[in-house]
Amino acid sequence: MLVNYADIRFNPDGTPVSNQFDDIYFSTADALAETEYVFLAGNRLWERWQQSQAERFIIAETGFGSGLNFFATIALFRRFRTEFPTAPLKRLFFISFEKYPLNPQDLLLIHQQYPQFNELSQQLLQHWPQPLSGCYRLHFAETTLDLWLGDVTENLPALGDYMQNKVDAWFLDGFAPAKNPGMWNEHLFQQLARVTATNGSFATFTAASTVRKGLLASGFHVEKRPGFGHKRECLVGVKPQSIQQPSTTPWFNLQAAQMPTQDIAIVGGGIASLCTALALLQRGASVTLYCADDAPALNASGNKQGAFYPQLSDDNVANIRFYLHAFSYGGQLLHWLLKQGIEFEHAFCGVALSGYNGKAEEKLRKIAELHLPSAIYQPMEQTQLSAAVGQPLPCGGGFIPLGGWLAPRQLVQNAFAYLQQQGLTIQCQQTIQSLSQTTTGWRLTNTQGATFEHEVVVLANGHQLNHFAQTEKLPLYPVRGQVSQIPTSANLLKLNSVLCYDGYLTPVDQAGESHCIGASHVRDSADRTFSAQEQVENQQKIQHNIPEDWTQEVDTSGNLARIGVRCSVRDLSPMAGNVPNFAAQNDAYHNLFNLRRRKQPIPAAENYPNLYLIGALGSRGLTSAPLLGEMLASLIYGDPLPLDESLQHCLSANRSWVRKWLKGAPVE
């Protein structure tokens, strides 16, 4: 999971040199001119952008390095958008793979040599990911960067079947083949060909025969051109024909939408709806939200305070990986919302995880064994954790420095108001009862019998997600949660961070008046009636698990509380993606075990066209919704996805059925 930072030194002229590969990062003569000549001109980007009829262009790169190639590409694309404002091409995706990322201090030193990119550098460094493997999505206005940390030989295949024939241009960078033979190999060339679009191009600084022969063998047309600086030659080329490889997991079939007018409806009103609407609007969609309540954020997203941190205490490694990426992306989005002037109470004060009993201690021990970066997780002894919390604790545990709390209801409602200014339409008091397909999309019918038609529908209505005929087979269940609001006190005011035990306690709100404590967990209950018993239990829980004098000041007797109903699933992973057609998939896959055993053809899973969902966020919606909303919008538009294929499968709505079909077990 961890990746190593690059081990570098600087030449007397300031050029970074890799100690791992004993090679320079870029030309000592003129690094920027080299980038412009080798990669930008080598791929004929300027000419192709002018000729493009597509709305999106995808560039991929081996070796992010200092990011100079990325900066130069953004600069060129912005110049293109300025000179050709009416051109169809409006969005750029830049996918870059880096095995040994530079640490932020070294990046800053390099970027100081290029003051023209100062703004881009600041933005990149502000959200530079922790050294953990996987994909990190960063937004730069019209350009989206997917930075994949880890070995390209593992991460490039992780783009999955979804990315076949999609990359328009490659920057084959990185250290020279003689210095880095582990990257420049047959496996890399085959994977390049798999994901490169028909007539997609590549350019590289090298003319090594192994590279030329490998690209030729993989289906590329290859040409030599004069090299840059002292280099005699370099290579460019195109992939003239489509290469379609059969899917290895056809039961997980990700499908983009067909939507000539980009008319999209969202059924919901909480944090999942908000994040999805934002990502869709940024892509140019026309979005209408249908909310059953009088206003958004009146159910599970309506609490006064909620914790923001990754779910780490889970035996499911895939869940941990997902939440680490979601936490990174969520932090980026929250800071962006604040920068837009969207107000909501918050404090990135850290989150303390207490080892309040043997089971909790064991979970925290397993987290410590992950050796996560200290910015993500720090194991702490009793005295350390007590100091971080600001009050004595009976145990040690762990601390998440970048975590904290925020006001979900404020966030969702104020952000929706902002999105309305950006074109979002909100229809409240609209309970959508049923969905039916039309020739152009979907018809939504409310409880009064009124109908609305849209090309694409996204279901984000929490615990009612499976209340439609198309979703009724999904194994979702409601979870009632009562959060108590308690008055502050002299000792509670000293609480510095969110404290988690078999529940949670937030620091005092910004008014300096109250805290939130909770939440109860009642499975298979959608009842939102106040419970005096759960109110008492919320108090007893912290006083039992954190038996310190200061917790005796926790007082729930005022009976101030809020009840929300969350949507959950047994494996605790969220759902996001296509809505699967259960009847069609069960018919195709009921004998999947034998089909695989006999190596017979297996059809791609049938989904409901233009119908999507996002849900089962449980109690981690504040952390998971930003990344899930972005992923879902990416899928709808056919954009690159910000998660590797294995995590995409873990989020698929049909995953529980697939597990049974693969074992030969029936699905009812």
The tens digit of pLDDT for each residue in 190-230 reads 999 999 999 999 999 999 999 999 999 999 999 999 999 88
574 pLDDT band, cuts 50/70/90, is: very high
Instruction: Please give the share of the chain, as a percent, with pLDDT higher than 70.
Output: 100
Distance CA 203, CA 228 (A): 12
pLDDT score for 236 = 98
Residue type, 418: Y
What are the beta bridge partners of residue 523?
479
Tokens, residue 641: 């996805």
Tokens, residue 508: 């005092």
pLDDT score for 182 = 86
pLDDT score for 179 = 86
Give the residue range(s) of CATH 3.40.50.150 domains in the chain: 8-239
Give the residue range(s) of CATH 3.30.9.10 domains in the chain: 351-401+477-569
The CATH superfamily holding the domain 8-239 is Vaccinia Virus protein VP39 (3.40.50.150)
pLDDT score for 489 = 97
Sheet holding 16-18, edge to edge: 8-10, 16-18, 23-24
Q: Measured in whole angstroms, how far is the alpha carbon of residue 380 from the centre of its chain?
A: 29
pLDDT score for 143 = 98
pLDDT score for 188 = 94
Taking every pair of Cα atoms in the chain, the longest distance, rounded to a whole number of angstroms, is 81
**Lowest mean pLDDT segment, chosen from 99-108, 313-322, 457-466:** 313-322
Cβ neighbours around 451 below 10 Å, total: 11
Q: Write out 450-507 in H/E/C secondary structure.
A: CEEEECEEEECCHHHCCCCCCCCCCCEEEEEEEEEEEECCCCHHHCCCEEEECEEECC
**What's the pLDDT tens digit per position in 631-659?**
999 999 999 999 999 999 999 999 999 99
CB 628 within 8 A of CB 278: no
Tokens, residue 628: 């899930």
Q: Supply the DSSP string of 141-207, one letter for each residue.
A: TTEEEEEEES-HHHHTGGG-GGGTT-EEEEEE-SS-TTT-TTTSSHHHHHHHHHHEEEEEEEEES--
**What's the pLDDT tens digit per position in 384-402?**
999 999 999 999 999 999 9
Distance CA 651, CA 648 (A): 5
Distance CA 446, CA 453 (A): 12
**What's the pLDDT tens digit per position in 394-431?**
999 999 999 999 999 999 999 999 999 999 999 999 99
pLDDT score for 8 = 92
546 pLDDT band, cuts 50/70/90, is: very high
Domain covering 263-299+410-475+571-663, topology: FAD/NAD(P)-binding domain (3.50.50)
24 pLDDT band, cuts 50/70/90, is: confident
176 pLDDT band, cuts 50/70/90, is: confident
Question: Is the pLDDT reported for residue 314 higher than 80?
Answer: no
Mean of pLDDT values over 55-71: 97
Q: Give buried/exposed letters for 358-377 (b at 16+ CB in 10 A, else e).
A: eebeebbeebbeeebeeebb
Question: Is the pLDDT reported for residue 315 higher than 80?
Answer: no
Tokens, residue 335: 């800071």
Query: 3-state DSSP helix/strand/coil percent for the chain, to nearest 5?
Result: 35, 25, 40
278 pLDDT band, cuts 50/70/90, is: very high
Tokens, residue 359: 């089971």
Give the residue range(s) of CATH 3.50.50.60 domains in the chain: 263-299+410-475+571-663
Measured torsion, CA atoms of residues 455, 461, 462, 468, in degrees rounded to the nearest 10: -80
Least Cα distance to 460 among 665, 329, 288 occurs for 288
**What's the pLDDT tens digit per position in 450-468?**
999 999 999 999 999 999 9
Mean of pLDDT values over 367-377: 95
pLDDT score for 647 = 97
Q: Measured in whole angstroms, how far is the alpha carbon of residue 146 from the centre of its chain?
A: 10
CB 634 within 8 A of CB 276: no
Residue type, 152: V
CB 552 within 8 A of CB 292: no
Summary mean pLDDT of the chain: 96
Write the CA distances from 119 to 31, 71, 567, 642, integer angstroms.
19, 10, 41, 24
pLDDT score for 15 = 86
Cβ neighbours around 466 below 10 Å, total: 21
Least Cα distance to 333 among 271, 422, 288 occurs for 271
Write the CA distances from 524 to 299, 469, 475, 532, integer angstroms.
16, 20, 12, 19
Higher pLDDT, 299 or 507: 507
CB 362 within 8 A of CB 349: no
Least Cα distance to 619 among 577, 556, 565, 655 occurs for 565
pLDDT score for 634 = 98
Q: How many residues does the chain have?
A: 668
The enclosing H or E element of 383 equals helix 382-389
242 pLDDT band, cuts 50/70/90, is: confident
pLDDT score for 329 = 98
Cβ neighbours around 579 below 10 Å, total: 24
The one-character DSSP state at 229 is T
Least Cα distance to 125 among 141, 101, 100, 91 occurs for 101
Least Cα distance to 565 among 503, 621, 628 occurs for 621
**What's the pLDDT tens digit per position in 344-366?**
999 999 999 999 999 999 999 99
What are the beta bridge partners of residue 514?
487
**What's the pLDDT tens digit per position in 114-125?**
999 999 999 999
Distance CA 534, CA 479 (A): 14
How buried is residue 113: exposed, middle or buried, by Cβ count under 10 Å (0-12/13-18/19+)?
middle
CATH of 351-401+477-569, one of 3.40.50.1000, 3.30.110.30, 3.30.9.10, 3.40.980.10: 3.30.9.10
Question: Is the pLDDT reported for residue 295 higher than 90?
Answer: yes
For residue 360, cis peptide bond before it (omega within 30 degrees of 0): no
Distance CA 264, CA 452 (A): 11
